Structure 1
Amino acid sequence: MDKEKMEELKIQFQQLLNEAQEFVHKIPPTQLYAAIGVVVFTIFFFLIIRLFKRRSSNTILLTGLSGSGKTVLFYQLRDGSSHQGTVTSMEPNEGVFILNSETSKKGKIKPVHIVDVPGHSRLRPKLDEFLPQAAGIVFVVDAVEFLPNVRAASEYLYDILTKASVVKKKIPLLILCNKVDKVTAHTKDFIRRQLEKEIDKLRTSRTALSSADIANEYTLGVPGEAFVFSQCHNKVTVAEASGLTSDISQLEQFIREYVKA
């Protein structure tokens, strides 16, 4: 583009700018302010919508100790298949699908991203990879073998509840007491009380550590009071299920509460 055309464009642009300024000066101040207000509100409104959509997630994490039945629950949610015995996973099982119980429903149903995180202690750091996108966490507990594992389960649960990514986002957590079809299974109320007692002991011992050791953790509970899950920064609920008998309605209810169909 030569200099003459550049000069011509500059002149035209200046004329348009002058005309725009004259037009704005002719508008009464009240109307001008109102128009500016509408524009600002519209921009703000669309930014909020975009932010909300960006933060909405369809990811649900299944976690807990090894042998608690997480992988069986994963397959029950996905296709309703029944796995006999223990199904051990050393790598995360994940999939995006419509819940098996909803496949017969008409209309558009939002699929869910389910991640079954291995419960082995060396593989638990994999949970951190998925937490930023989690809409909810399901902590699975073996209701039959609960008492021998109550300390280990409480330590793992404590670690989850004090993670900054969980606390800041207030990720809801469901403690799912699995295998309740067994005669020797403990009730969800018993399991809840025992976990609260163990976590109360843990927070006493862990808060005695140096600040450097707990730099990445949040504290749990209210000082001077016995710990209960209602004191947590995020919502914690307790429910029951049986993966082997396909009794997972309370689990599905939790999922659909936080991943709208």
Structure 2
Amino acid sequence: MALQWQEYGKLAEKYVQELLGQAYHFRKQAVAYSQENYHVGRALAQRRLQELAQAPPIADLAKQLDARAETLVVAALAALLLVVLVPLLLLLRSAKKSKGDTIILAGLTGAGKTALFTQLRDGSLHSGTVTSMEPNVGRFVLYGEKPTSKPVQIADIPGHPRLRTKLDEYLPKARGIVFVVDAVDFMPNLRAVTELLYDILTRREVVRRRIPVLIACNKMDRLTAHTVDFIRKQLEKEIDKLRVTRTSISDADVGSAEEIHLGKEGEAFKFAQTLNKVTVEEVSVHKDNLDGIREFIRERIKA
């Protein structure tokens, strides 16, 4: 737009020069005719020049119009930014407030969730071997940290199937999920463990907010415990089978809600394919070997 107005200004200046040339030519003709005609031509030429002198220069006018056009464009862009940015900032502010500071402990009954809860809170196992029928929820500084560290809310969700719906109450404020697996009795419970993990990974809140999941392989101090690599591979294989079954059921039930598909279609499932980060760590609650869990928590909730 600016270039167009500059070209317009140049053409206008050229036109003015032509008018001045015509006036000067008329003046010369007046001199050639007679003294009387000279005075007439001179008067007409002077009046024409005065009119041109009183009018604003065309080039300056073009610059003014160009400046006004740029001002209008800037104003329009500013208004557009306000319309777009203000709601976006409000949304980001709301999302920041809703992040929460909760770490969820999930897993089957007997995996060691309650013992992990008491270790993180008190550094001991008192009452930590009793199966809980209600969520254990507490806000505290992790045991062994400075008293000035930021408290964390830990929610231990019961592993009983009828109580797993409690998970949905804490997901909106969750910053991470620690999924506890019994590394000793892993194979007999493989199907049940996989189904619970699958249900968590396909929760809309987990997928939408990309809540990270740490699979904590507990009881690694036992000689009969399976290795972390073995547990990871078995879970991936079982999830691969389970997602085929779940997809078939979803396709058959036309009225059911849309199923969230884990991983990449046509490829064997791997945890690396999930939208949210999934990691696997070896831990031992009874030996207080919880460095991987503490690091996971503090990566999401800074001390």
Structure with higher helix content = 2
Q: Which residue matches 2:200?
A: 160
Uncovered stretches (5+) of structure 2, i.e. residues with no partner? 1-66
2:138 maps to amino acid? G
Q: Which residue matches 1:193?
A: 233
Contact (CA 8 Å) 1:143, 1:185: kept in 2 or not? yes
Q: What are the equivalent positions in structure 2 for 1:143-154 lying under 5 Å apart?
A: 143-154=183-194
Q: Which residue matches 1:79?
A: 122
Q: What are the equivalent positions in structure 2 for 1:146-225 lying under 5 Å apart?
A: 146-209=186-249, 210-212=252-254, 215=257, 217-225=259-267
Contact (CA 8 Å) 1:62, 1:115: kept in 2 or not? yes
Which whole-Å CA distance do the structure 1 matches of 2:189 and 2:112 have between them? 14
| RMSD over aligned Cα atoms | 2.5
Moved over 2 A (4+): 28-34, 36-53, 82-87, 210-214
Which whole-Å CA distance do the structure 1 matches of 2:85 and 2:261 have between them? 40
Q: Which residue matches 2:296?
A: 254
Q: Tell me which of 99, 105, 118 is aligned to 1:62.
A: 105
Deviation per residue, 1:160-196 (Å, 9 max, x gap): 1111111111111110001111111111111000000
Deviation per residue, 1:190-214 (Å, 9 max, x gap): 1000000111110111111124475
Uncovered stretches (5+) of structure 1, i.e. residues with no partner? 1-27
Which whole-Å CA distance do the structure 2 matches of 1:142 and 1:223 have between them? 30
1:77 maps to amino acid? L
Computing the radius of gyration from Cα coordinates, the structure with the larger value is: 2
Q: Which residue matches 1:98?
A: 141
Q: What are the equivalent positions in structure 2 for 1:237-248 lying under 5 Å apart?
A: 237-248=279-290
Which whole-Å CA distance do the structure 2 matches of 1:125 and 1:181 have between them? 32
Q: Which residue matches 1:25?
A: none
Q: Which residue matches 1:235?
A: 277
Which whole-Å CA distance do the structure 1 matches of 2:88 and 2:204 have between them? 29
Contact (CA 8 Å) 1:63, 1:138: kept in 2 or not? yes
Which whole-Å CA distance do the structure 2 matches of 1:230 and 1:44 have between them? 34
1:120 equivalenced with 2:163 (yes/no)? no
Deviation per residue, 1:44-98 (Å, 9 max, x gap): 7963663353133210000000000000000010010124883210000010011
Deviation per residue, 1:209-236 (Å, 9 max, x gap): 1244751531112111111111112110
- Determine what percentage of the aligned residue pairs are the same residue: 56
Aligned pair count reads 231
Contact (CA 8 Å) 1:164, 1:216: kept in 2 or not? no
Structure 1 length-normalised TM: 0.80
Which whole-Å CA distance do the structure 2 matches of 1:99 and 1:140 have between them? 18
1:31: Cα distance to partner? 8.4
1:132: Cα distance to partner? 1.2
Q: Which residue matches 1:134?
A: 174
More relative contact order in 1 or in 2 (CA 8 Å, sep 6+)?
Answer: 1
| 1:227 aligned counterpart, secondary structure | coil
**156 and 45 in structure 1: CA distance in 2 versus 1, 3 angstrom threshold:** closer
Structure 2 length-normalised TM: 0.69
